[in-house]
Amino acid sequence: MSTELQTQLLDSKGLKKTPIRRELVSLFLQNSNALSFHDIQDGMSSKLDKSTLYRNLTSFEEAGLIHKINDHSGIAKFALGQQDLSDDHAHFVCDNCETVSCMEGSVSIDVKVDDKVHVKQIQTIVHGICGNCNS
Amino acid sequence: MSTELQTQLLDSKGLKKTPIRRELVSLFLQNSNALSFHDIQDGMSSKLDKSTLYRNLTSFEEAGLIHKINDHSGIAKFALGQQDLSDDHAHFVCDNCETVSCMEGSVSIDVKVDDKVHVKQIQTIVHGICGNCNS
DNA sequence: ATTTTAAACGCGACTGAGTTGCATCTGTAA
DNA sequence: TTACAGATGCAACTCAGTCGCGTTTAAAAT
């Protein structure tokens, strides 16, 4: 049932199901955009301690439930790691409203790489103006 | 003459040529890798005030002499913006020694983009193990 | 050469993100 | 139901980066 989606996600990653974690997962499920720490703190029903939130975000990230995005602002944002998006998916940053969202599709690079260099992951940030701001 | 390359670079960007700025440009010219604030502070011949350095880095960035790179560490790194590299060039981050360097070549994306979305710039960070560490 | 002035410098105080140590509480498994 | 690892909250802390302000200096004007 739909109210149990958070439970399924936490279970699937072997994470303990506390009330805070359930609400935190719900918050991510409700938002397609990446969330800053303050978006998260403001989005929870009660004001929670920041170390609790940061520790949960770290646990979620280590478990692969969410991923961290570092854009040019220097402030980390977090978004659900979705199965239908590749590991190397791109992120879109609106230079006007500063919204960050994940992009479907693939990124390919055509760069000179030395033989000894081992490429493991590609992270791409696409800057521009989002549909909302461009109206 | 070669000792005047810093002067040329500062002149070409309309930046005032102070002793600190000359040495700062020299430091960037000597390093192919991107430099963190502490790399820079340690690389200068005398210990300089951090606000002076930060303000110079900001001026250099605004003038297009250098560019800022935000990798997963959350700590900004700076590198010369070189003419032979495209604006949208990729950065390589070694997950072992944490060195950051610019990559020649181009990045292309194949992602779904809404009609209203206007893409302005693509920034890519390639993670892996560098040649030095992979020996 | 001297004066002028906008901009660079240094100092110190500050902000804000993120971390850590520790005592208490709670989810879960035995 | 109990036991315990791990989650929570609080407070103190670290560290990157910024800002205000008084002083100095590069470079243009005289």
First to last CA, chain A: 38
Please name the helix (run of DSSP H) or strand (run of DSSP E) that holds residue A125, with its range, or none: strand A118-129
Strand partners, B106: A110
Average of per-residue pLDDT values in chain B: 89
Q: What is the mean pLDDT of residues A103-108?
A: 78
CATH level 2 (architecture), domain B1-135 = Orthogonal Bundle (1.10)
CATH 3.10.450.50 fits A2-80, yes or no: no
Q: What is the pLDDT of residues A76-96, one digit of tens each?
A: 999 998 655 566 678 999 999
- Within chain A, which residue ranges are assigned CATH 1.10.10.10? 2-80
According to the model, what pLDDT value does residue B1 have? Answer: 40
According to the model, what pLDDT value does residue A121 have? Answer: 82
How far apart, in whole angstroms, are the C-alpha atoms of residue B35 and residue B60?
A: 14
Q: How confident is the model at residue A31 (pLDDT cuts 50, 70, 90)?
A: very high
Q: How confident is the model at residue B47 (pLDDT cuts 50, 70, 90)?
A: very high
Residue A45 Cα, gap to closest chain B Cα (Å): 28
Core vs surface per residue A22-35: b (16+ CB within 10 A) or e: bbbbbbbeebebbb
Determine which of A68, A94, A96, A113 to mutate to test the interface with B (most B C-beta atoms within 10 Å): A113
According to the model, what pLDDT value does residue B106 have? Answer: 73
According to the model, what pLDDT value does residue B4 have? Answer: 82
According to the model, what pLDDT value does residue B81 have? Answer: 82
CA of B16 to C1' of C5 (A): 14
Interchain CB contact of A17 with B (< 8 Å): no
Residue A63 has pLDDT above 50, yes or no: yes
Tally Cβ neighbours within 10 Å of residue B58. 12
A104, A110 Cβ separation under 8 angstroms:
no
According to the model, what pLDDT value does residue A82 have? Answer: 61
Neighbouring residues of B56: CB distance < 8 A, sequence distance ≥ 6: B20, B21, B24
According to the model, what pLDDT value does residue A84 have? Answer: 54
Chain C: bases < 7 Å from a protein Cβ: 7-13, 17-21, 26-28
